[in-house]
Structure formats: structure tokens, C-alpha cells
Amino acid sequence: MEWSIQEVVRASGVTSRALRHYDDVGLLKPKRIGANGYRFYDADALVRLQRIRILRQLGLGLPEIGRVMTGETDNGTALRAQLAALRRESERLERQIAAVETTIAKWEGGEQLMAQEMFEGFDHTVYRDEVEERWGAEAYATGDRWWRSLTAQQKRDVGQQHLDIAADYGTASAAGQDPASGEVQAIAQRHYDWLKTSTGTVSKGYFLGLADMYVADPRFAGNYARDGVEYAGFVREAMRAYAEHNL
Amino acid sequence: MEWSIQEVVRASGVTSRALRHYDDVGLLKPKRIGANGYRFYDADALVRLQRIRILRQLGLGLPEIGRVMTGETDNGTALRAQLAALRRESERLERQIAAVETTIAKWEGGEQLMAQEMFEGFDHTVYRDEVEERWGAEAYATGDRWWRSLTAQQKRDVGQQHLDIAADYGTASAAGQDPASGEVQAIAQRHYDWLKTSTGTVSKGYFLGLADMYVADPRFAGNYARDGVEYAGFVREAMRAYAEHNL
DNA sequence: GCTTGACATTGACGCTGCGTCAACTTGTAC
DNA sequence: GTACAAGTTGACGCAGCGTCAATGTCAAGC
């Protein structure tokens, strides 16, 4: 008993295109190919097709299914690997969802200018409340006057410097360097200098406070993240080491 | 002030390839292109790039990002749509995970032959316990004797009939037909006839019990599903309507 | 013997967002 | 003049088929 491709389609719900694809990739060869090129499947092929479909519905890729079919990998191993992959993907999605929710909340909270300001430099106005609360209204006013005195060009330069510093931190972090190493501490030094230029004076407490803010405040995540991998924690460690030895 | 592509790369962490891609698809055009073909970006472009990256990290596609950037869609709408999409995807993943877990458990429980048997026909041995519990040991023995009396060829034919019936249910379900409609009830009639041939006699209770099993038992999902969309519920309704009017 | 219609075949492009060569040209430094 | 870094424009690759397009085959009816 053998079936034409259309009969298989009706029985299995798999499209003929998919069947031809399985044939192309060697996953399911027809039992016989007529002189006219027509594909004919037998019962064994239908059994294999059923298994293929089940594994596909469970999310396995065709190459992996091929390995299972040939016995190269057994069902349990393949399914457990798939389960682990699905769990990872699920967790990633959950984080993604949390990130979108946070962003929506922020955007609706009137902080929609965040991204732009971030790029134009250290957007001190966003942190006005915090700065005044931690270091006094006078400290904020000083920084504000200095900032306003800059030309747009100068502001962008300051911003660019910050971006360079952030990028270098990111490179060091990605390279697996120690936050306390000489290279990273040199970046921290530039970071400190940049802050001093931007804000006038930088106390140890201010510097350490900033370090904590980098980790605690998601608004910084955009600045200290690369392709979704945040390294604010790395920056904090580098800043702490720097403060410990130099301030 | 303008930056070369490498400077943008260092400042943003975005690869030059991505930047050229954004240019190609019209998402982020350089401010200026030199006589040598070199791309040069300005501060505005960097701001746009930052926004693009943020939206990308939140999982939005480039076309959607383009719509947001032109103001065609606002942030809130886009993000909420994205959130909804993520939630759907998350739920799908959870179901996927549950399915894989179930399958692993079954496979380890010694039911690894399920798939094959399914295809060879109504695998009554798998349901032995349930059948005996619900309709008595004698009912099972009768069905078993009948089944064993068949040749492999006959078994396959019976299986093929079941597949055809299942496929027709699937087509009707996908077409949005009413389970109680004439067409669908005709399928239910064939289903009933097939069952009668397979098991001897079919009581109303047996038929309705089977209908419930189709929905409750995931082992049937493979039979009454097409491309991941289960229609066991549809089958149950059709069977109930049939039983109500004919048994 | 011809037409029609259903079913079959083999290409080949499309989708998503870039990564990754490949083959060259430019700019900058020594 | 010669390197070397950085720039450019193609073009393929990926995952799994969906979707034409162009064309051949086969059974049935006139």
C-alpha cells in the first residue's frame, strides 16, 4: 500500500510543500519515486512523519529531529535539551516583558525625553530631586549654572566624552577584565575627571552614591548596557575601587 | 560636529554593519555622505540611534520602529502592542514547555510506542485500563480479540480511516463550521461507524466518554491537532451533538 | 484525439536582522 | 612609497517552509 503526496496531505495535515522540504533535507524520503517523478509514501513513511510532526510541535528543529530519527540522539536527551532551551527562552521573554512594562511606566511618567537627554550628555535635570536631596540645593544650582553656560556644542562634547567612557567600560567588562585592574582604573580616572569637569567638585560620598545609582536606577541602564547586557555592576565595582584608593 | 561610522560604533556599541543596514532600510540615514561614499553622522542621528536601540532591545521590529520614529505611531501604542505580543508569545512558550514536559513523562513511562501505534490505528492497548474501568474487562477483551484478528494491512486500513476522519474534522474546524451542522454531523456519523466496526458496539455513554477523553487526554492531541492548533474541543462538540440526536 | 482539471514536478524568491566574508578604494602615518 | 586602518558595495547565510511561476502527467469526458 502506498499513498500519493495528496493522500498523505489529507491524512496528516502536512502540506505538500513541507513534505518536499523534508525530502530535500533528507528527513523523510518517499518510499518510491515514479518514472514521472511523483513521490509515493508507504506506511513506514507515515509513521516517521507522525514522529517528525510531534517533535516539530514540541519545537525541535529539523536537524535535531533528523538526529533523533537516526537514533544518533535519543528522545529523552533531545527533549530535555529542548526543555532547557525553552526555559531559557521563557526567562528571556519574562525579562523582556518586565523591561517593556518599566519603559511604558517611565514614558507615561513624563520622562519621555530621557533618551534624548542621555545622549546629549549627563542629563542633570532629570536627577535634580535626587541631587538636591543628597547633596543640597546649592550643589544642584552650581551644576545647573555650569551646564547652562555651555554652548550646545560644548554640551555635545561633554556628552561624547561620557559616551566614550561608557563604551570603554563596556569593552573592559565584555573582555572580562577585573574592575580593580590598572586598565579599568584608568577609565575610572577619566570618569572621575569628567565628573569633576561637569559638576565642579566630586566628593567620595558623591562618587560612591553615583556608583550605587548606576546599579539601582534603570535610567542608567541605557547608558551602561550593550546589546542588552548591562554592565552597570561592573562600573560600580570599578568606581568603588577607584574611590577606595584615590578619594 | 559629525562623526565617522567607526566613532559612532565606539560610542554606541552598534556595529557598522547594522548602521549600514539601518541606512539601507531608511531607518537612519547619515547626515552626510562624503564624495568618497563615507557616511557621517551628526548629533541628531545619534539621538535617533539611541531611540532605535532602545526600541530594538524592547523587541520591536525595524518597520515598527520606523513608524514610531516618523510619529506615525506613538510610543505608548507601540509599546503596548509589543507588550501584548510578548505576553502572547510567553503564553505560547509556557504551553510549549508543558507539552514537552508531558511528553518526556510519557516517554519515560514506557509509552514510547504511542506515536507508532497511533498511526497504525486506534491503539486500544494504551487505553486498556481506562476501557476496563469504564466498560468492563469483557469489553476490552472483545475489542482486543477483534483487533488481533486483523492483518497488518487491515489494521492500517482502519488507521487510515481514522486519519481521514480526523483530517475532515480538522478541515471543518478550520473552516469555522458549526459542530452541529449537517456536514460535520456527517463526519461524526462516519466516526461512529468506524468506532462500531472497531469495537463492536458503541453505547451512548461510551461515545460521550470518548468525546471527553479527546479533550482531557493529551495523547489525543496529536491526533486532533493540525499545526499546533488543537481541535479536540470541536470534535467533542460534534460528537455530543451526534449522540444527542442519534444514540 | 483533444480538452479540461486536478495533481505533480522543479526552481526561486521572501521573510528578519543583521553576521560574515570578499574584493576594492581611501585616508593617514611613517 | 608603503603599510595599515577604515571605508565602501555586493552577496551569501540562517529556519522552515509559504507562495508564485512555469510546466509536465494522468484520468475522464466529448
**Protein CB footprint (7 Å) on chain C nucleotides:** 7-10, 16-20, 25-27
Tens digits of residue pLDDT in B75-108: 889 999 999 999 989 888 888 887 788 778 767 6
Residue B43 or residue A79, greater confidence: A79
List the single protein residue with the shortest CA to C1' distance from D5.
Answer: B6
A183-229 pLDDT tens trace: 889 888 888 887 776 655 667 766 776 666 565 544 455 556 655 55
What integer is the mean pLDDT of A51-78?
89
pLDDT digits (tens, 9 = 90+) for B109-157: 544 444 333 433 344 444 444 444 545 454 555 555 555 545 444 555 5
**Cβ neighbours around B125 below 10 Å, total:** 13
Q: What is the pLDDT, as a whole number, of residue A43?
A: 81
The answer to whether the Cβ–Cβ distance between A89 and B93 falls below 8 Å is: yes
The pLDDT value recorded for residue B219 is 46
CA atoms within 13 A on the CB side of A168: 17
The larger pLDDT score, comparing residue B8 to residue A27, is at A27
pLDDT more than 90, % of chain A: 20
Does the C-beta of A2 come within 7 A of strand C?
Answer: no
Q: Let me know how long chain A is.
A: 247
pLDDT at A218: 46
| Integer Cα distance of B166 and B159 in angstroms | 10
| pLDDT tens-place string over residues B193-220 | 877 766 556 777 667 766 765 655 444 5
ipTM above 0.95, yes or no: no
Answer whether B179's CB lies under 8 Å from B238's CB. Answer: yes
CA of B5 to C1' of D1 (A): 28
Residue B217's identity, in one-letter code, is D
Q: Could you give the C-alpha distances from B146 to B63, B149, B195, B196, B200, in angstroms and in order?
A: 61, 5, 12, 12, 8
pLDDT at A60 (0 to 100): 93
B21 C-beta less than 7 Å away from strand C:
yes
Residue B64 is predicted with a pLDDT of 93
Residue B97 near residue B90, CB atoms below 8 Å: no
- Shortest Cα distance from B214 to chain A (angstroms)? 17
Strands ordered across the beta sheet of B32-33: B3-4, B39-41, B32-33
Local structure of A40: helix, strand or coil? strand
Those residues with Cβ within 8 angstroms of residue B71's Cβ, 6 or more apart along the chain or in another chain: none
CA distance B25 to B41: 16
Instruction: Provide the residue type at B127 as one letter.
Output: Y
More confident residue, B4 or A122: B4
Nine-digit cell at A40?
509515493
Q: What is the pLDDT of residues B10-46, one digit of tens each?
A: 767 788 999 999 999 999 999 999 989 899 998 788 8
Measured CA to CA, the distance from residue B238 to residue B211 in angstroms comes to 9
Return the number of CB contacts < 8 Å for A and B: 136
**CA atoms of A77 and A79, how far apart (whole Å):** 6
What B12-16 contacts at long range (C-beta under 8 Å, 24+ apart), as own/partner pairs, is B12/A163, B12/A167, B12/B46, B12/B49, B12/B50, B12/B53, B13/A167, B13/A170, B13/A226, B13/A227, B14/B49, B14/B53
What is the DSSP code (8-state) at residue A160?
H
Higher-confidence residue of A102 and A169: namely: A169
- The candidate with the shortest Cα–Cα distance to A139, out of A203, A91, A80, is A203
Cβ-defined contact of B57 to A99 (cutoff 8 Å): yes
Instruction: Give the separation between CA B183 and CA B164, rounded to whole angstroms.
Output: 15
- Angstrom distances, CA of residue A23 to CA of A14, A31, A90, B32: 13, 11, 32, 50
CA–C1' A3–D13 (A): 35
Q: How confident is the model at residue B171 (pLDDT cuts 50, 70, 90)?
A: confident
CATH architecture of residue range(s) A3-69: Orthogonal Bundle (1.10)
Kindly list the domain boundaries of chain A, sorted by start residue: 3-69, 113-246
Q: What is the DSSP string of B32-85?
A: EE-TTS-EEE-HHHHHHHHHHHHHHHTT--HHHHHHHHTTSS-HHHHHHHHHHH
Amino acid A61 CA to nucleotide D15 C1' distance, rounded Å: 8
Q: Which residue in B75, B90, B107 is closest to A107 by CB distance?
A: B75
Start-end of H helices in chain A: 5-12, 16-24, 43-57, 62-69, 75-108, 114-120, 128-135, 137-149, 152-174, 182-199, 204-216, 232-246
> Is residue A141 predicted with pLDDT exceeding 80?
no
Given a contact cutoff of 8 angstroms between Cβ atoms, the answer to whether B12 and A169 are in contact is no
